[in-house]
């Protein structure tokens, strides 16, 4: 019988036919061209454009952003912060962005497009927007979608009609430098130390707002005072005079530094560092800020569950639609929110750099298998790694030192940064610390850390939809919850929709946390052997106890602010015989005054 089937003789022929067919289909699909991605060449932001170019940025809390803007302005730049991303921005992000992105990408990308559209509505032409504005943002090489943010910004801007709008990365000097070598944004000593102060102050102030506001006696006072206080700090950061040895140095030194550039630069570096960290103006500004905050009257006997916020970097920081206004909601529901400082994230990056340097050293070391008698090579292998670790270690120490110093100068009640090594150790049985992306092992580590140290009644993880690292840690968290039975942990997936649903889930978990906080308070009150009337009478007689910066020593094992406070007041009453004699409320003998 005749057949149309072609006889194939051997494997080589099959392979050749497959190759030919693959090539044909790739050609039809337009995939026969080289497909390697090349980053588009960005128009440079040059020094001569500085006077008429506004730098846009965003993504932090209003406290961080006001302070960062002041540093930009103090260094001679025009700068504006973007509004807090909202649902309208999210929808614009979805309209103009790629499919399948994570939630923060849509919010932040849409927010930028929305702001440019607003400028257009205000009467600016597209050319004016393209030429007179640049957007600065952080960049990364991944592995999560953070590595694609820059490309996403460009894609959505192009789709929205703003093709050519400049998106510049802080880490990327190519986009910032002009062809002439004179960059539009110069990373000077003043800029660097100013930003360091702005970030640390932003973190500390953010922590303080959430510690003080739930206990304020006069509603609205905290917000008013903090806005005024941040304005004062911004004024200092913006208007401060930059140290110049030729102007501010002693007379005898001026002619010497004028002639010698190296000497001049060295004095300027140390002089500026001193001015930024220990300068009279800066310390005065911090003292004024502290006094303003300390004028707020607080009542720390209110029993509130402490809710620690963890999750993805952006979702746990933003104060708007991006996380369903979660902090505001929690406070409305009677909780005290424990926010996460950005400084933890930076400390985590440094911890990761150290861990990865150690893990990769067997591959990266200069001599792979030296003989036992090749001492020089062994020494080179040893010292090469040490040098790396010492450098990172010095950076970590300085970062922690300056953060905690800022916290001390601003009243001394800000929470300390959680130790990175302990977070990694706690997370280790559940999450490999070398798995990078997003918050990595941090979310698991923090959940356990705040639970076992009894620093919070409940941990709430805010995780954007479509977030790859959050999905990974969600899997690990179920094992964590099984091991720590008294843990109240709730992961909430944040998106542009579903606010009511998310709030109702939080309400349910918060109900349990409230019971936990109330039980702890009652146990502590019982242990003091005193009544609330007696404790209140003592507080009324000692107005310093109504000031936010009155220092209440921390007791191990007690998470609630009110419980900690009454234990401390009870200790004071026990020592105060004068009060005991004249008290109108009969003083009872304490059972045990303990934090357990
Ligand atoms: S951590 Fe998650 S939400 Fe954040 S950029 Fe990466 S993938 Fe997106």
Euclidean distance between CA atoms 496 and 271, whole angstroms: 48
The rounded Å distance from CA 111 to ligand 1 centre is 17
DSSP labels, 89-132: HHHHHHHHS-TT--HHHHHHHHHHHHHHHHHHHTT--HHHHHHH
H or E element that contains 231:
helix 221-239
> Would the CB of 144 count as within 6 Å of ligand 1?
yes
Give nearest CA residue, ligand 1 atom 7: 467
With beta carbons less than 8 A apart as the criterion, state whether 458 and 512 touch.
Answer: yes
Check residue 168 and give its pLDDT. 83
The rounded Å distance from CA 145 to ligand 1 centre is 5
- Testing ligand 1's pocket by substitution, the residue of 151, 312, 466, 494 carrying the most ligand atoms inside 8 A of its CB is 312
> Would the CB of 464 count as within 6 Å of ligand 1?
yes
Give nearest CA residue, ligand 1 atom 5: 146
- pTM of the complete model: 0.88
Closest CA to 97 of 160, 142, 167, 37: 160
Euclidean distance between CA atoms 207 and 201, whole angstroms: 10
Check residue 9 and give its pLDDT. 73
* Greatest C-alpha distance within the chain: 120
Q: What angle do CA 569, 332, 555 make, to 5 degrees?
A: 25
What is the phi/psi pair of residue 169, to 5°?
-95, 140
DSSP labels, 246-288: HHHS-TTTHHHHHH-HHHHHHHHHHHHHHHHHH-HHHHHHHHH
The residues facing 458 across adjacent strands are 307
> Would the CB of 190 count as within 6 Å of ligand 1?
no
Residue 12 burial (C-beta neighbours within 10 Å; 0-12, 13-18, 19+): exposed
Euclidean distance between CA atoms 233 and 576, whole angstroms: 40
Q: Please give the structure tokens belonging to residue 278.
A: 């220990």
- Give, for all 596 residues of the chain, the pLDDT tens digit: 445 566 777 788 888 888 999 889 888 877 777 666 666 677 888 888 999 999 999 989 999 999 999 999 999 999 999 999 999 999 999 999 988 888 888 999 999 999 999 999 999 999 999 999 999 887 776 677 787 888 888 899 999 999 989 988 766 544 444 444 567 788 889 999 999 999 999 999 999 999 999 999 999 999 999 999 999 999 999 998 899 999 998 999 988 888 899 999 999 999 999 999 999 999 999 999 999 999 999 999 999 999 999 999 999 999 999 999 999 999 999 999 999 999 999 999 999 999 999 999 999 999 988 999 999 999 999 999 999 999 999 999 999 999 999 999 999 999 999 999 999 999 999 999 998 888 889 999 999 999 999 999 999 999 988 788 888 888 899 999 999 988 999 999 988 788 899 999 999 999 999 999 999 999 999 999 999 999 999 999 999 999 999 999 999 999 999 999 999 999 999 998 888 777 665 555 444 433 33
Closest CA to 411 of 242, 528, 572, 296: 296
> Would the CB of 462 count as within 6 Å of ligand 1?
no
Check residue 179 and give its pLDDT. 41
The rounded Å distance from CA 4 to ligand 1 centre is 55
Considering just the CA atoms, what is the radius of gyration of the chain in Å?
A: 29
Euclidean distance between CA atoms 335 and 456, whole angstroms: 11
> Would the CB of 44 count as within 6 Å of ligand 1?
no
With beta carbons less than 8 A apart as the criterion, state whether 409 and 286 touch.
Answer: yes
With beta carbons less than 8 A apart as the criterion, state whether 156 and 113 touch.
Answer: yes
> Would the CB of 240 count as within 6 Å of ligand 1?
no
> Would the CB of 438 count as within 6 Å of ligand 1?
yes
């Amino acid at each position: 019988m005749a057949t149309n089937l072609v006889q194939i003789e051997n494997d080589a022929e099959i392979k050749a036919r497959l190759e030919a067919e693959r090539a044909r289909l790739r050609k039809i699909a337009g995939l026969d061209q080289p497909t390697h991605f090349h980053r588009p060449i960005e128009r440079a932001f040059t020094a001569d454009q500085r006077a008429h170019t506004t730098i846009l940025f965003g993504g932090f809390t209003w406290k961080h952003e006001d302070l960062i803007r002041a540093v930009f302005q103090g260094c001679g730049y025009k700068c504006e912060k973007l509004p807090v991303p909202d649902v309208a921005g999210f929808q614009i992000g979805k309209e103009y962005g790629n499919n399948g992105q994570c939630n923060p990408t849509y919010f932040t990308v849409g927010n930028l497009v929305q702001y440019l559209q607003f400028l257009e509505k205000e009467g600016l032409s597209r050319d004016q927007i393209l030429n007179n504005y640049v957007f600065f943002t952080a960049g990364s090489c991944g592995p999560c979608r953070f590595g694609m943010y820059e490309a996403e910004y460009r894609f959505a801007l192009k789709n929205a009609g703003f093709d050519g709008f400049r998106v510049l990365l802080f880490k990327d000097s190519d986009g910032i430098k002009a062809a002439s070598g004179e960059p539009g944004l110069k990373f000077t000593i003043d800029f660097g130390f100013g930003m360091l102060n702005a970030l640390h102050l932003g973190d500390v102030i953010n922590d303080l707002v959430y510690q003080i506001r739930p206990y304020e006696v006069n509603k609205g006072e905290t917000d008013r005072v903090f806005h005024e206080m941040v304005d004062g700090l911004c004024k200092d950061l913006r208007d401060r005079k930059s140290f110049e040895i030729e102007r501010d140095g002693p007379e005898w030194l001026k002619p010497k530094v004028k002639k010698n550039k190296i000497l001049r630069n060295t004095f300027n570096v140390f002089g500026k560092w001193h001015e930024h960290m220990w300068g009279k103006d800066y310390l005065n500004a911090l003292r004024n800020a502290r006094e303003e905050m300390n004028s707020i009257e607080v009542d720390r006997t209110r029993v509130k569950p402490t809710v620690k916020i963890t999750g993805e970097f952006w979702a746990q920081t933003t104060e708007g639609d991006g996380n369903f206004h979660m902090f505001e909601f929690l406070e409305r529901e009677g909780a005290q929110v424990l926010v996460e400082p950005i400084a933890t994230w930076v400390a985590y990056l440094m911890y990761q750099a150290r861990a990865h340097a150690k893990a990769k050293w067997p591959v990266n070391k200069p001599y792979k298998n030296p003989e036992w008698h090749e001492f020089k090579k062994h020494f080179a292998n040893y010292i090469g790694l040490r040098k790396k670790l010492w450098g990172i270690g010095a950076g970590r120490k300085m970062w922690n030192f300056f953060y905690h110093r800022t916290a001390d100068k601003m009243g001394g009640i800000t929470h300390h940064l959680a130790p990175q090594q302990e977070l990694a150790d706690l997370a280790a049985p559940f999450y490999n610390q070398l798995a990078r992306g997003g918050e990595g092992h941090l979310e698991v580590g923090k959940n356990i850390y705040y639970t076992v140290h009894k620093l919070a009644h409940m941990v709430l993880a805010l995780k954007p939809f479509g977030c790859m690292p959050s999905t990974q840690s969600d899997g690990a968290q179920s094992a964590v919850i099984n091991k720590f039975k008294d843990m109240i942990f709730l992961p909430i997936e944040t998106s542009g929709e579903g606010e009511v649903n998310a709030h109702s889930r939080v309400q349910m978990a918060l109900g349990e946390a409230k019971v936990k906080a109330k039980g702890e308070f009652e146990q502590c009150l019982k242990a003091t052997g005193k009544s609330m009337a007696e404790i209140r009478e003592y507080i009324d007689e000692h107005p310093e106890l109504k000031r936010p910066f009155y220092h209440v020593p921390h007791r191990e094992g007690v998470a609630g602010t009110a419980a900690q406070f009454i234990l401390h007041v009870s200790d004071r009453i026990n020592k105060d015989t004068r009060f005991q004699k004249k008290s109108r409320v009969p003083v009872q003998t304490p059972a045990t005054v303990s934090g357990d």
